Amino acid sequence: MSQSSDDEYREWVRRLRDQSRRDAESLVPRPDYPVYGLAAPILTPAVLLHKSSHGFPVLVALRYGSWGTAAGPHVTVTSAAPNHEIRATSSVLGGPAPVTDGRSARDPERDLLREIDAERKRIAVHAEVDREEPAEPPRYTRETLPMGDALVCRHGTMWAARLVDGSPEVIVTISGHGADPDVVRLEPVTDLRPMLAARGEVFARLRERRRAAPPPVLEPAEGVAALRALADFSLAANARLRAAERAGREPRTPVGSGPVHAALWQRAVQERQRLAGGSARAADDAVTAVINHVGYLNERAAWFGADSRLRESAIDETLRRALLAEPVPSEPAQQAWDRYWSEHLAWLRVDPQTAERLALTRDRDALAEDWLLAWAAWAAAA
């Protein structure tokens, strides 16, 4: 049975509260390394963001200041366990904002610039303001600040700093704008519960604001064209991500991309259901499979990026088969993908620590190889 938008919203709130409760159980009273927060200036709300690995909170970030405005002042104080390389966990299209990228001693300048990138992304996603990157390169200095001796990166009006003489038990990074680092002072935080509660309230308000906003206006499209619009949007987002990774940066998030992606996805699901029948859940699963298929081709098949003719044919055949059930020359590759995707979904449902997961990993990897070989054979004959 389908749910109304109100039902879906209440379900989202319930899941958010459940997640906050689980976070509280893992973080309160605090991780087993020092956690620092903002003593000055006084900014509210203070919201907790964190990253865990195998149940251990390897990073705790406290973000201070309004989430709905771009002007600031905003300050984020991140305490990270040493000897942990942490990949970014950003949610590009809304939800919990990115907290940081890897924290290592190998390239602190890169890490600081990615802190600034992450703050630009938060502003784009939640305040819906595009902070253009300044033309001048970032400046790095070593300074003695009220918070301690620090390596500081300044890029336009934004800055990030890492303490260089702090406790070896924790890596402390601070970023902000609208509040100069010269006025920032830190203090230990022993109770994270108020920040967890504030996070739930902030994200609920952001979700409500987005829910009340009018939907974006899309270019008219139906059938395969609707699915192609979604595929093109996803491929463009993936291209930004790969370009940012090559440059050691965080990808930029265009303002409004979250609602546009949601609208494109919803339209593609509706078109799949209209043309193929079945439930909305089945249509959503089908769209998920086909968008991942195109995305995986983009990432793993060299010819996909090198030959525009093959690329267009592969996308067209994949979408027509998925939406219209048309027979296509790439049918062996399409069937190979169906087998791989089914195994991949089974793999996701299994506990990573079990022997069953290891066996499924071998099966899945073999099916991925079969899928790539089938596409290579198609490309050679096309």
DSSP labels, 56-109: EEEEEEEEES-SS-SS--EEEEEEE-TT--------TTSSSPP------SS-HH
Residue 134 DSSP code: P
Domain assignment present for 108 = yes
- For 27, 259, 277, the CA distances from 262, given in Å and listed in that order, are 32, 5, 21
- How, if at all, do strands 74-80 and 185-188 pair? unpaired
Domain final residue, candidates 181, 198, 215 = 198
In this structure, are 37 and 126 located in the same domain?
Answer: yes
In this structure, are 232 and 189 located in the same domain?
Answer: no
Domain assignment present for 203 = no
In this structure, are 250 and 334 located in the same domain?
Answer: yes
Domain assignment present for 302 = yes
CA 23 – CA 29 distance, rounded (Å) = 11
Domain assignment present for 353 = yes
CB–CB of 37/77 below 8 Å? yes
In this structure, are 280 and 184 located in the same domain?
Answer: no
In this structure, are 47 and 136 located in the same domain?
Answer: yes
Rg (CA), the chain: 23
In this structure, are 134 and 242 located in the same domain?
Answer: no
CA 149 – CA 161 distance, rounded (Å) = 9
In this structure, are 293 and 374 located in the same domain?
Answer: yes
In this structure, are 179 and 67 located in the same domain?
Answer: yes
Instruction: Check residue 227 and give its pLDDT.
Output: 97
Domain assignment present for 312 = yes
Nearest one of 83, 52, 65 to 119, comparing CA atoms:
65
In this structure, are 30 and 115 located in the same domain?
Answer: yes
Domain assignment present for 211 = no
CA 112 – CA 214 distance, rounded (Å) = 36
Tell me which amino acid residue 72 is.
G
In this structure, are 121 and 244 located in the same domain?
Answer: no
CA 140 – CA 195 distance, rounded (Å) = 31
Domain assignment present for 337 = yes
Provide the domain count of the chain: 2
Domain final residue, candidates 152, 180, 198 = 198
Instruction: Check residue 6 and give its pLDDT.
Output: 46
Which long-range CB contacts under 8 A does 242-251 form with residues at least 24 apart?
244/117, 248/107, 248/110, 248/113, 248/114, 249/113, 249/114, 249/117, 250/88, 250/90, 250/98, 250/101, 250/114, 250/117, 250/118, 250/120, 250/121, 251/92, 251/117, 251/121
Range of the domain at 286: 224-381
Tell me which amino acid residue 308 is.
S
Domain assignment present for 215 = no
* Tens place of pLDDT per residue across the chain (382 aa): 334 444 444 555 556 556 555 555 555 545 778 889 999 999 999 998 877 666 666 788 999 999 888 888 999 999 988 765 443 333 222 233 333 334 444 688 999 999 999 999 888 888 888 888 888 999 999 999 998 899 999 999 999 999 975 566 788 999 999 999 999 999 999 888 888 889 888 888 888 888 888 989 999 999 999 999 999 999 999 999 999 888 888 888 888 898 999 999 999 999 999 999 999 999 999 999 999 999 999 999 999 999 999 999 999 999 999 999 999 999 999 999 999 999 999 998 888 778 888 888 899 999 999 999 999 999 999 8
236: its two tokens = 């463009």
CB–CB of 133/76 below 8 Å? no
In this structure, are 259 and 188 located in the same domain?
Answer: no
φ, ψ at 252 (rounded to 5°) = -75, 150
